[in-house]
Amino acid sequence: MPSRPAASRAWVLSESLPATVDPGSVDPEADRGPVRECRISEIGRYLLHPGPVEIRKRLVGCEVHRAQRGLVRWLRRVGSGLRRRAPKRPSDVLLTGFKLKVPAMNDPDLEAHLRRLADELRSFDPFIPKLARIQAAGLAQLVGICEEVGGGYSYLKLQGTFEEKIRYLSANVGREVRVTLHRAQVSEGLFDLRGFPPAAFNPANAFRLLTYTRAGAPAACVLNAKGNLDFRLADPQVVSYLSLFEHTLAVNPDLRHAFEACFLGSARPVRLFFNRQLEVDYSKANLPEIYRSLLRSTDPGGSRHLIKPVLNSMQTAVSLSYLPAAEGGEEKLFTQVSILHDLRALDSLRKSLPAVYAELSRRAFSSDAGRFYLLDSITGATHGS
């Protein structure tokens, strides 16, 4: 990983080096001790930032929870002393039948005209009269449903009174709506990239990331261009994801190409996921190309029976999902999966296949998350939303 990232390429994190910085100047609770510093790009700052991000999702319907009748409410209150359970709250799912989507076009006037036509056609959607028949007085909860890129659905919390929620659904179903996420990291190892401003990445911009200790525990903060505190990291361990990602970019040209397309080209990034529960079973599948090539040169007789048992343990997948520039109005979600293998899983090969182990050890990289080599690279596509 280079200490000074090239200004002409997309990057995330630079090498961490000792720094002569007093962490107490930005964190009064910091310990007096060693400090390390690295540079993060605008993408790195986006991934680490604790603040909310705004994305867009296509609103496709709602889930209607109706209020319980008086007898049901009474049964729930006294149900702890009864064998009979009160019925669950009834709910209905209403989805739009409007599937027409207007793709982005080079001619803005034509695109605007087609969007006006699409809005007129929306009035014929069966969802609208079904929604109009809902009585706000009989509702307990009304939740929006959005279509996710690549398939699947997610809930959307609606604001306001039930009447306002119904009006919002009627006006926006079938359209893209703004959705606010608490932060880019939506769960452990999962980052939503749709909130990064499109075509806004400047590789020359960098921010200082300091790592130190507070009360003996790891701590980290990011400084702005003037050297003042930008934000502190609630969980400094998240930096290990950035380190792992930067190293994977360096060893996998397929991932590098997709990443460059997302932030320096015309593709749109969707999500970044670090996963240790993989669906690839190498005990049944063919050996990855890296092993096939090594065995051709070091063990023509074949030692597959020694290698396959170790491949399914200690894996980490780095997955980048993105939408390339659509042709003909059809979007497909592409996912580039880099499967990394912890070098410790190969301990049993040290004596049985020393040449293979030595070569993989030479190719392995060291990151904050451990020492890995690139086991496999897979790219797949599904229809986007």
Of 166, 181, 196, which residue is a domain's last?
181
Does 37 reside within a domain?
Answer: no
Does 351 reside within a domain?
Answer: yes
Is the domain of 163 the same as that of 258? Answer: no
Q: Enter the tokens of residue 260.
A: 């460059």
Using an 8 Å Cβ cutoff, are 241 and 189 in contact? yes
Is the domain of 266 the same as that of 156? Answer: no
Is the domain of 264 the same as that of 382? Answer: yes
Is the domain of 70 the same as that of 175? Answer: yes
Is the domain of 273 the same as that of 163? Answer: no
CA distances from residue 39 to 2, 4, 250, 259 in whole angstroms, order as listed: 10, 8, 16, 19
Domain interval for residue 317 = 252-385
Does 203 reside within a domain?
Answer: no
Output the pLDDT for position 82.
45
> CA-CA distance, 224 to 80, in Å (whole number)?
56
Does 174 reside within a domain?
Answer: yes
Is the domain of 146 the same as that of 263? Answer: no
CA distances from residue 289 to 151, 169, 359, 375, 376 in whole angstroms, order as listed: 31, 51, 14, 8, 7
CA dihedral of residues 297, 302, 303, 309 (deg, nearest 10): 100
Output the pLDDT for position 282.
83
Is the domain of 162 the same as that of 262? Answer: no
Domains in the chain, number? 2
pLDDT tens-digit profile, the chain (385 residues): 544 455 568 999 999 999 998 888 889 999 988 999 999 999 999 999 999 999 999 999 999 998 876 544 544 555 544 445 545 556 789 988 766 565 555 667 676 656 666 665 666 678 888 888 888 888 999 999 999 988 889 999 999 999 999 999 998 998 889 999 999 999 999 999 999 998 889 999 999 999 999 999 999 999 988 889 999 999 999 999 999 999 999 999 999 999 999 999 889 999 999 998 776 788 777 889 999 888 887 665 567 788 888 998 899 999 999 999 876 556 789 999 999 999 999 999 998 889 899 999 999 999 988 899 999 999 998 765 5
Is the domain of 385 the same as that of 258? Answer: yes
CA dihedral of residues 302, 305, 306, 312 (deg, nearest 10): 120
H or E element that contains 50: none
Of 158, 181, 204, which residue is a domain's last?
181
Output the pLDDT for position 175.
86
Does 120 reside within a domain?
Answer: yes
Does 281 reside within a domain?
Answer: yes
Is the domain of 280 the same as that of 152? Answer: no
Does 224 reside within a domain?
Answer: no
Residues comprising the chain, all counted: 385
Does 27 reside within a domain?
Answer: no
Of 150, 181, 212, which residue is a domain's last?
181
